[in-house]
Chain A
Amino acid sequence: MRRMMKKALSAILCAAMVMSMTGCGNTGTSTTATDTTATETTEATAASGETNSGAAGGDKVTLNVWHQWSNDTNELKAIYEKAVEDYMTENPNVVINSETLDTEAYKTKISAEFAGDASGIDVFYYWGAGMARKLVNADKLLPLDDYLTDDVKGKILEGSTGAFEFDGKLYSVPSFSWYMTLFCNKDLFDKAGAKIPTTYEELLDASKKLSALEGVTPMAAGAKDGWNAAFIYQALALREMGAAAENKMLAGQEDFGAEGYKDAADKVVELYNAGAFGKNPLESGNDDANAAFISGTAAMRLMGSWFANQVYTDDTATIDPANVVACKIPMIDGKGNDTDYCGGFVESFWVNKNTKYPEEAAKFAIYINEKMGVAAYETGSGFSGWTTEADESNLNPLFIQIKDLLGEGKEGVLAWDTSLDSEPATIHNEQTQTLFAPNADTEAFMEEHEAAINQ
Chain B
Amino acid sequence: MFGLHKNERLDYIMDRMLGKKRYIAVFVLPALLLFLVFGIAPLITTGVYSLFDYDGIGKMDFLGLNNYIKLFTEDRYFPRALKNSFVLAGASIFIQLPISLVLALILAKGVKGEKAFRTIYFIPVVISSMVIGQLWMKIFHSEYGLLNIFIRFLGMKDFEYSWLSNPSTAFISTVVPSIWQYIGYHMLIFYAGIKSISTDYYEAARIDGATNWQTAIKITIPLLAPVLKTCMVFALTGSLRAFDLIYVMTNGGPNHASDVPGTLMYNNLFRKGLYGYGSAQAFFIVLECIILSFIISRIFKKAEDNASAI
Could you tell me if A282 and B273 are in contact, using CB atoms closer than 8 angstroms?
no
Is B299 on the interface with A (CB-CB < 8 A)?
A: no
B38 / chain A contacts, CB cutoff of 8 Å: 23
Is A437 on the interface with B (CB-CB < 8 A)?
A: yes
- Prevailing SS type, chain A contact patch: helix
Could you tell me if A12 and B27 are in contact, using CB atoms closer than 8 angstroms?
yes
Which segment, of A130-138, A306-314, A362-370, A372-380, faces chain B? A130-138
B256 / chain A contacts, CB cutoff of 8 Å: 430
Could you tell me if B273 and A140 are in contact, using CB atoms closer than 8 angstroms?
no
Contact of B30 among A15, A137, A421, A437 (CB under 8 A): A15
Is A348 on the interface with B (CB-CB < 8 A)?
A: no
Cβ contacts A to B, 8 pairs, < 8 Å: A12-B29, A20-B33, A134-B58, A280-B162, A282-B254, A283-B164, A283-B165, A423-B273
B273 / chain A contacts, CB cutoff of 8 Å: 111, 134, 421-423
Is B66 on the interface with A (CB-CB < 8 A)?
A: no
- 0/1 per residue, A69-113, Cβ < 8 Å to B? 000000000000000000000000000000000000001100110
| Contact A426 B165, CB 8 Å, known A20-B34, A135-B57 | no
Could you tell me if B30 and A16 are in contact, using CB atoms closer than 8 angstroms?
yes
Min CB gap A431→B, angstroms: 8
CA distance A20 to B30 in the complex (A): 9
CA distance A325 to B273 in the complex (A): 39
Contact of B272 among A15, A23, A280, A426 (CB under 8 A): A426
CA distance A224 to B55 in the complex (A): 26
CA distance A138 to B164 in the complex (A): 40
Is B192 on the interface with A (CB-CB < 8 A)?
A: no
- 0/1 per residue, B1-43, Cβ < 8 Å to A? 0000000000001000100000100110110011001100000
A434 / chain B contacts, CB cutoff of 8 Å: 254-255
Is A1 on the interface with B (CB-CB < 8 A)?
A: yes
Could you tell me if B30 and A108 are in contact, using CB atoms closer than 8 angstroms?
no
Q: In the complex, what residue of chain A is closest to B252 when comparing beta carbons?
A: A430
Could you tell me if A134 and B55 are in contact, using CB atoms closer than 8 angstroms?
yes
A426 / chain B contacts, CB cutoff of 8 Å: 267, 271-272
Contact of B162 among A13, A283, A423 (CB under 8 A): A283
Is A115 on the interface with B (CB-CB < 8 A)?
A: yes
Could you tell me if B165 and A422 are in contact, using CB atoms closer than 8 angstroms?
no
Contact of A23 among B17, B37, B167, B274 (CB under 8 A): B37
Min CB gap A30→B, angstroms: 15
Could you tell me if B37 and A20 are in contact, using CB atoms closer than 8 angstroms?
yes
The size class of the interface chain A forms with chain B is 35 or more
B34 / chain A contacts, CB cutoff of 8 Å: 19-20, 23
Q: In the complex, what residue of chain B is closest to A280 when comparing beta carbons?
A: B162
Min CB gap B145→A, angstroms: 10
| Contact A111 B253, CB 8 Å, known A12-B26, A23-B38, A280-B142 | no
Is B118 on the interface with A (CB-CB < 8 A)?
A: no
Is A185 on the interface with B (CB-CB < 8 A)?
A: no
Is B270 on the interface with A (CB-CB < 8 A)?
A: yes
**CB contact list, B133-167 vs A, under 8 A:** 141-143, 162, 164-167
Could you tell me if B267 and A16 are in contact, using CB atoms closer than 8 angstroms?
no
**CB contact list, A1-37 vs B, under 8 A:** 1, 5, 8-9, 12-13, 15-16, 19-20, 23
Is A279 on the interface with B (CB-CB < 8 A)?
A: yes
Is A357 on the interface with B (CB-CB < 8 A)?
A: no
Could you tell me if B55 and A437 are in contact, using CB atoms closer than 8 angstroms?
no
* 11 extra interface residue pairs, beta carbon distance < 8 Å, beyond A16-B29, A283-B142: A12-B30, A16-B33, A19-B34, A20-B37, A111-B273, A114-B57, A115-B57, A138-B58, A279-B142, A423-B272, A426-B271
Q: In the complex, what residue of chain B is closest to A423 when comparing beta carbons?
A: B272
Is B59 on the interface with A (CB-CB < 8 A)?
A: yes
Q: In the complex, what residue of chain B is closest to A135 when comparing beta carbons?
A: B57
CA distance A422 to B164 in the complex (A): 26
A437 / chain B contacts, CB cutoff of 8 Å: 165-167, 254-255
Is B56 on the interface with A (CB-CB < 8 A)?
A: yes
Min CB gap A5→B, angstroms: 8
B275 / chain A contacts, CB cutoff of 8 Å: 115
CA distance A280 to B23 in the complex (A): 65
CA distance A1 to B270 in the complex (A): 54
Is A433 on the interface with B (CB-CB < 8 A)?
A: yes
Could you tell me if A283 and B272 are in contact, using CB atoms closer than 8 angstroms?
no
Could you tell me if B13 and A1 are in contact, using CB atoms closer than 8 angstroms?
yes
CA distance A254 to B254 in the complex (A): 30
- 0/1 per residue, B159-199, Cβ < 8 Å to A? 00010111100000000000000000000000000000000
Min CB gap A244→B, angstroms: 28
**CB contact list, A429-455 vs B, under 8 A:** 430, 433-434, 437
Min CB gap A3→B, angstroms: 13
Could you tell me if B30 and A433 are in contact, using CB atoms closer than 8 angstroms?
no
Contact of A433 among B29, B59, B142, B254 (CB under 8 A): B254
CA distance A452 to B141 in the complex (A): 33
| Contact A111 B57, CB 8 Å, known A20-B34, A279-B162, A283-B142 | yes
Q: In the complex, what residue of chain A is closest to B55 when comparing beta carbons?
A: A134
Min CB gap A125→B, angstroms: 17
A112 / chain B contacts, CB cutoff of 8 Å: 56
**CB contact list, A113-143 vs B, under 8 A:** 114-115, 134-135, 137-138, 140
Min CB gap B9→A, angstroms: 10
B27 / chain A contacts, CB cutoff of 8 Å: 12
CA distance A433 to B255 in the complex (A): 7
Min CB gap B42→A, angstroms: 12
Min CB gap B170→A, angstroms: 9
- 0/1 per residue, B256-280, Cβ < 8 Å to A? 1000000000010011111100000
- 0/1 per residue, A402-437, Cβ < 8 Å to B? 000000000000000000011100110010011001
CA distance A114 to B54 in the complex (A): 13
B33 / chain A contacts, CB cutoff of 8 Å: 16, 19-20
Most chain A CB neighbours (cut-off 10 Å) among B34, B270, B274: B270
Could you tell me if A280 and B165 are in contact, using CB atoms closer than 8 angstroms?
yes
B58 / chain A contacts, CB cutoff of 8 Å: 134, 137-138
Could you tell me if B57 and A283 are in contact, using CB atoms closer than 8 angstroms?
no
CA distance A108 to B271 in the complex (A): 9
B56 / chain A contacts, CB cutoff of 8 Å: 111-112, 115
Min CB gap A202→B, angstroms: 28
Q: In the complex, what residue of chain B is closest to A140 when comparing beta carbons?
A: B57
Min CB gap B136→A, angstroms: 13
**CB contact list, B218-267 vs A, under 8 A:** 253-256, 267
CA distance A427 to B255 in the complex (A): 10
| Contact A138 B254, CB 8 Å, known A16-B29, A19-B34, A280-B162 | no
Q: Which 7 A-B pairs have the closest CB atoms?
A: A282-B165, A138-B58, A422-B273, A280-B162, A16-B30, A423-B272, A426-B271
B26 / chain A contacts, CB cutoff of 8 Å: 8-9, 12
